[in-house]
Amino acid sequence: MIRVVLLGPPGVGKGTQGQRLAAGAGVPVISTGEMLREAVAKQTPLGIKAKVQMDSGHLVPDDVIIGIVRERTLQADALRGFVLDGFPRTVPQADALESTLQERGLALDAVLSLSAPEDELAKRMLLRGRSDDTSETVRKRLEVYREQTAPLIEYYRRLDRLREINGVGSMDEIQSLMLTAIGRKA
Ligand code: ADP
């Protein structure tokens, strides 16, 4: 049973590392980016709206994403815990998560903050080549990260939940740092 948030800039490896961490712990990954891409692919009303923001590197509105995550965390498979990837991304989202968990008598175990130099991140995203990974949106997403998401590092440090992880290294090295940080490694 773990409730963990993965925090970090686009391209830092939250997706890959999050999958591994969740599989090992037997809990689902809740990736807001994946959920939104699915909605876009299915052309749901949400997807049609979100696509515009995603393609320009902006965030979708807080109230929209907060509602989606609240519902998702109530599903049966998430009752034993979850790894959140891509949420929260703003202070209002973090506040909403805190109150949702509190209402249920729950709390986050840890916030794993992954970091890597910006030139490395940009390089990785351009290699990855997702439809929103053009050099223009990459720059925009890094800027949005700095302005809206990076303040969450201080937010969670103050709540004493923050564990800082160096996101440069081999997949195994980084996973091992993460496991140690949540006390799952001998
Ligand atoms: P990245 O790999 O750049 O971190 P994600 O796959 O997590 O990106 O998300 C892709 C896009 O989906 C974001 O650029 C943003 O437009 C939207 N998105 C994902 N999560 C959120 C969120 N929590 N709040 C607002 N928008 C989000």
Q: Over the stretch 114-136, which tens digit does the pLDDT of each residue have?
A: 999 999 999 999 998 888 889 99
Output phi, psi for 163, to 5 deg. Answer: -125, 120
| pLDDT-derived band at 186, boundaries 50, 70, 90 | low
Q: Note whether 111 and 4 are within 8 A (CB).
A: yes
* Ligand 1 proximity of 8 Cβ (cutoff 6 Å): no
Q: What residue owns the CA closest to ligand 1's atom 15? A: 59
Distance 186 CA to ligand 1 centre (A): 34
Name the 3-class secondary structure at 183: coil
Distance 152 CA to ligand 1 centre (A): 15
In terms of phi and psi (left: phi > 0; alpha: psi -120 to 50; beta: otherwise), the region of 183 is: left
State the Rg of the chain over Cα: 16
| pLDDT-derived band at 185, boundaries 50, 70, 90 | confident
* Ligand 1 proximity of 28 Cβ (cutoff 6 Å): no
Pairing of the two strands 110-115 and 162-166: parallel
> Is pTM beyond 0.85 here?
yes
Q: What 8-state DSSP symbol labels residue 162?
A: E
**CA-based max dimension of the chain:** 47
* Ligand 1 proximity of 156 Cβ (cutoff 6 Å): no
Measured distance CA(25)–CA(70) in Å, rounded = 21
Take residue 93 and report the two structure tokens written for it: 């989202």
